[in-house]
Each structure stands twice: as structure tokens, then as C-alpha cells.
Structure 1
Amino acid sequence: MTIGRATAPEIPAKEKVNTMSGENPDATQFGRIDPGGTVYLKTSAGERVIGSWQAGSPEEGLAHFARRYDDLVTEVDLVAARLNSGNADPASTASAIKKLRVSLDEAHVIGDVDKLAARLDELASRSEAKVAEAKEAKSAARAEAVARKEALATEAEKLAADSTQWKAAGDRIKAIAEEWKTIHGADRKSDQALWKRFAAARDGFTRRRGAHFASLDSERKVIATAKEELIAEAEKLATSTDWAETADQLKGLMRQWKEAGRVAPDAEQKLWKRFRAAQDTFFSARSEAFSARDAEFKENLNQKRELLTQAEAIDVEADPRAAQAKLREIQGQWEEIGRVPKESAGGLQRRLRAVDDKIRAALDVAWRRTPVSENPLLAQMREQVDKAERQLERAKNDGDAKRIAAAEEALNSKRQFLELAEKAQ
């Protein structure tokens, strides 16, 4: 066979095979020409006749057949380059390698055919692996395409069976149809079956939507009646002063309003204005009440700050008992003032408690300085008063009204007994 010469791309050194004409001028290593002009190729299996040479000297004949070998090597280099690039079709490349390998057994060339055969065998093995990889990738792509279309068909069927969001569902079904066109690679049988499912779902949705809008007039009457009832309920609640409970009820009515559906646009707007007006009446009144309450709390805050200034100015060291009496007076006024803004209550209470702790500490020091001869019962009663004060403080911090009342009653009783005991001392 005669093979045309071509320019080969750069091939990795480990894949190149020595040629006869350029790299191995000793042509007798791989071939010979006998005196009669018969040309022999030398291989590991022995010699075989590849042709006849009568056109010149034996050296010229050997060079001629060596150049043919060079052309064959170039063709192998080209197919190897295609295989290495990864861009060519693996099956086509494998077929080309196989043809070259088969032709090598009868090629009319002189060169290292054994080495070239080994190289083609290695390339054939690699090409078969790439063919297997390509088949696997194609199979995976086919499975993925089928899975995607299966998911789209299932989604369309669910929308067709259940959805009442007509515009959103209709838009989504249109989007599914467009997305379907972009998915390629599914086998024909699966593709047709899945398309039939999608088309049936789309048609079913279209029919159901048509039936819905055909009966929309009668449904709108039902919706209008339901909204009239919601308006009547909202108008009843509009004058309520049970702020928290009524606000929750109105929010519930709002949820029902949204769930009830819509009537014709003009009628919907009129109904909404009435419903909203009832809500606005309540929430405006609540806002005014809260504003008044906030103003009251702010004024209470100012008053408690003034009391706190007085408490912190008490001279504890001079007369702890008088300081305690003054603080009790301030605490009484403190309770009468009432509540302050929540964010300020904790800080004020901590500062007042700090004054109380300071006075108690001073009293403890004064009591420890009391002569041993002092009545031990009196000391015990003072400790009980101190304990009752701490219990009242904890009850106030917890905000437990019953505990506060009980603690105040117990403290007043213990203070009265203490005062009587101190006067009798």
C-alpha cells in the first residue's frame, strides 16, 4: 500500500518510533533486497516479502521503503495526537487505530514494525478505554436527561391536579415547556412517554382552569358574602378597648380575608375600604391610648428619678436608722407613682436597691457595735425585719402581685413589733 506523507503534530517522546530514513540510516537492520530485486522486511517473526525493486540500487530501494515506513509512523502520530487531545470521537479514533494495526501486517515498508505494532496495540487499549468512558458518560447523560424530564413531568402533573394559583401555575407550566426544549440526550422511547405525560398534564390544567373561571361569577358571590361577614365582625371590634385580644382577633380576620379569595376588582376595592376603615378605627384608638400611657410612664419615670436622686443623697453614715426611715418613705412614694417604661425599670430598681443595700450594711455595722447587754430579742426582731424587706424586694422583682401583697403585710407587721420593742427598750 502507498500512504501519503503529512506533517505530524508534536508527539510525546515516549510515543515516538524511530524512522528509517532520518534516525536509522542502516536499512539492513529491518530489511534487505536480494540480487533478484525481491524486497524483504525483517521482523521478530522472521522475514516476509513486501515487494520488488528494479528501479535503482539496493540502497535506493531500501530508502524508498523506509520512507514509506516514515509515512506510516506519521499517520500513527496523527491518530495518537487525536486520541491525546480528547476532542475527537473515541469510536472513530479506535476504528482508525484498528485499521492501522490490521494494515501493518501487510504493509510494504521497511522499519521497526514490531515496535510500531506494540505502539498501536497500546493506543488501541487506550482508545477502547476512552470508548468505554464515552459510553458511560453518554449513558449517564441519558439517565440525567430522563431524570430531569421525569421531574418536570411529575411537577406538571402535581400542578395540574392540585394547584389553584392559576396564574403562577400557568406561568410555571409554560416555563417547564421551555426548559423541556433545552434538555437533550434522553432515549427516544422515554422522551416520547414523558412528553405524553407532560402534555396530558398541561391539557388537564388548562381544562380545570377554564372550568374554574367559568364558575367564577357564582364563587365571587360566595366570596362577597363571606367578606361582608368579616366586615361586620371587624366593625363590632372597632370600638373595643381590649387592645391585645382585639388586635389578635383583627389579625385573624385579616388572614381570613386573604384566604377568602377575590371578587371583581371594583367590588373588591369597595369591600376592602370598609374592612380597612374598621381596622383603622381600632388601631388609631389603640395608638392614642398607648401614646397617653407612654406619656404617663414618662412622667412616672421623671418622678422616680427625682426620688432616686433624693435616696442617693441620704447621709447613711450619720444616722443609719434615720436613713432607713427616709428610704422607707421614698419607697412608699415610689410604689404610689406607678409603672415606668419597661426599658428603664430595671436600671432604676437596681439603683434604688443599691441605696437600700448601703443602708442595710450601715445598720449591720451599727448593730454589731451594740453592747452585749442589749436585748437579744430586739436584735432578732431586726433581723426578721431585714429578712422581710429582702423577701418583698424579691417579690417585686418577680412581679408576683400575690407575693408582693403578702410580703408587704408581713413586713408592716414586723416593723410595728420592732418599733414597739425599740420604744420599750
Structure 2
Amino acid sequence: MTNSQKSDETINYTTDAAGQTAGSGEAAKPAPGPRPTPAAMAPKPAASLPVVPAPVVQSTPLAEAAKWGRVSEDGHVFLLIDGDEHPVGHYPDASAEEALSYFVRKYDDVAAQIALLEQRVEAKAPAADMNKTLSHLQEQIAERHMVGDVPALQARLEALAGAIAQLQRNEKAEQEAIRAAELAAREAIVAEAEQIAAKDPATVQWKSSSARMNELFDAWKAAQKNGVRLGRSTEDALWKRFRSARTVFDRHRRAYFSQLDNDNAAAKAAKEALIARAEELSTSTDWGQTAAEYRHLMDEWKASKRASRKDDDALWARFRAAQDKFFSARQAANHALDQEYAANLVVKEALLAEAQSLLPITDLAAAKKALQSIRDRWEEAGKVPRADMQRIEAGLRKVEDAVKAAEDEHWRRTNPETQARTSSALNQLEAAIESLEADLAKAEQHGDERKIAAAREALEARRQWLATLQKAAEDFA
């Protein structure tokens, strides 16, 4: 691009701070006044970006800028780098100081933007946004429409390029770590849902498991809304697994409660039948047989399956009401009988005292006669209250048992056959003892110690038997 073209591009459409336009066909000069600061010209950061303070605006002194630029007599401005001149632009009809100052301000603006970018790098602003700013500044420096230490600016931009690249790598690593954590969290949600769905429906606590499955679904929706994106294929695969687990769980839950409803209906029907039988028996006055029937019904009730808690409680109340009606009627009837039997109890108490006076038995015949009289009067007295029945019957039975024992003992002592057997045994033992005494005498005469010992032993045993039988014979006498 020629110096004239540079001049046309730079000057003809340049507006100064006062809003006046300087052109090659105009004699107007830039009006002095305040210049917009680089911070005001820089794009404002988004609300989510780090807040970066505006850099201090620096103004390069003309004496310093003169080392980097030259103005020709016709208003052309050149940038000096390493002894080479690079045309910057054309600023006609103005002094050299004014022309140089104009392009120094452009340098200061770029320097201020670089300083701002350095602060953003230090604050770790998003690298993507800073790369755009970096590219824009590199283009501005490459065009060289400024006067100042451009090589220094280029070096700063190179350093910024490296720093921004490192920030990009850090951001990528951080994003990958966040994505890995998000993936692990989603995997955990799916895995727990699959674990719940895989349980045996017969062992599942449906209330708590349903609540937990809803919590997992809420967690999934929150992750979808607020979490890091994982990529469509990954998210679709995880959602497919999660949806499948929820579908299986819901199917099991519906099947379980459907079966539960069927079981409850069957249990309810069975218990309704038991209630009908119990209600039929509730007006019966066959107290003993009906009480036995109620015991059987209770056994069937305990063995039957439970209906739903609400139904089972209501069914039990009806069954119990039928039982209570019967047993209340029986209790009332028994109470009336007890009142009627109270007088009989007084008679039997007196008869029991009379029977107990026969003990101990001294005269068996008299005791038997008296006991028979007591029994006859006992039967005539009639029934006693149920609460006293066992006690009063047990008392008379004790006297009857004593009389029976005395009678058995008397028979044993007077049995002719027993007496005959005892007498025969006595005669045999006496004969045996005489024979053994003779054997002992002979053995002693001959001094045979072995036969003497055997005869004495046999003789002692026979004499003990004889004493026992003699005592028994005395008992029979």
C-alpha cells in the first residue's frame, strides 16, 4: 500500500474528539480537547466475567515518540523500526508536532488495550473472548498506523498469546474434570435407579423406594438443567438406561399392587365367609358346641391371609362383634344359673364336710355305708356354680379314693388264694431250711470248709425269706 493510500485511509475519514472531520480537501485542523480513554473504548465485560479494573491511561511524551517516528514537510508520518521507515499515514495542513501527536495517541490506545488484556489474563478471564481481543490487537499492530515502541507491543502480545494458550489448556482441563465429575454423578443416579429396579418385587419397600426413585428423577432433571453438557450421545445413552430402570420399576410396582389387590380381595372374601358363619352362631344357646365352633373359626381366621389394613381392621371388628354377642349371652346365662345353683352349693359344702369326717378309715364297712348315703344326697342336691364345681368335686373325690384304697387293702389281706400261696411257701422254706441245717452238720463233721461256707450262705438266705413270709402271713391274720 502506498503512502498516499495510507494517508487517504487514515486521515480522510478520521474524526477527532470534538466531532470535526479532517480531510485532504479541508483546511480544518483537529480541535484540541479531551480524548476518549482506551477503557471507554474497550468492550465492556459480560456480567459473568471477572471484573477487571481499567488500566491507567498512559501518554507517550513526544520527545520519546520522536525516536520512533518522523513527519515529512508535506504531513506524511513514518514509523522507524530498526532503521527502516514504515509509512503510517498523512496528516496535512498541521504542524509536525500535531501530526506526530495524532499517531502517538493511536499507539497509546493500543498500549492501553494491551494493558487491559494483560489484566484480564491475570484475572483468568475466559480465554475464548481474550483470543478475539488478541487477534484484533495483532491486526492493529500489523497495520502499523501508530507511532511508538511497536516492537515492545509485539513482544507483549507474544507473551499474552502464550499465557492465553496456557489458560485455554487449563480451562480445558478444568472443563474435562467438571465433565468427568458430572458424568460420574449422572452414572451414580442411573446406577442407583438400576439397583432399585433390579430388586425382587417381593422384598421391595415400595413407599421408600418410590420416594427415592422420584428423588433420583428430580436430581436427573436438575443435572440436565444446570449441569455441564456431556454430549448428546452420552446423555442419550444415560437417559435411555435411566428411563429403562424407571420403566422396569414402575412395571414391577404396578404388578405388585395389582397382585396385592387380588390377594386382598381373596382374603376379604374368605374372611367375609367366616364372619357370616360367626354371625349365624351368635344367637345359638347350645353353649358348649357353639363355643367349640367359635374356637375352630378363630383358628381359620388366624390361618387366613390378611387383607389391606383398613379392610382387615373392619373385618376383625365384625368378627369379634359376633363372638362377643354369643359369649356375652353365654356369660349372662351362666350368671343366672350360678344364682340358681348357689343354694345347692351350701348343701354340697355340708355333705363334703360330712364325707371328710370319715377320714381316716377305721371301720371300712361303716365308712362305705356312710359314703353311699352322702353320694345319694349329693346327686339330689343338683349342680353348683361353675366357679365352685371343680373344688367341690375334687373334695368328695379325695374321700372316695381313700375308701377305695382301704377296700383294696382289706381284699389283699383277706384273699384266700393269697393266704394259700403264702402257707405253701412257708412249708417249702421250712423244709429247705431243715435240709440245709443237716447238710451243714455233715460238712462240719468232715471239716469240709467249702461245703460249710456254701451251706451257711444258702441257709442264711432261706431264713431271710422265711422271716419275710411269716410277717406277710401275720398281716393276713
Higher relative contact order (CA 8 A, sep 6+): 1
Q: TM-score, normalised by structure 2?
A: 0.44
Which of 1 and 2 has greater Rg? 2
Q: TM-score, normalised by structure 1?
A: 0.49
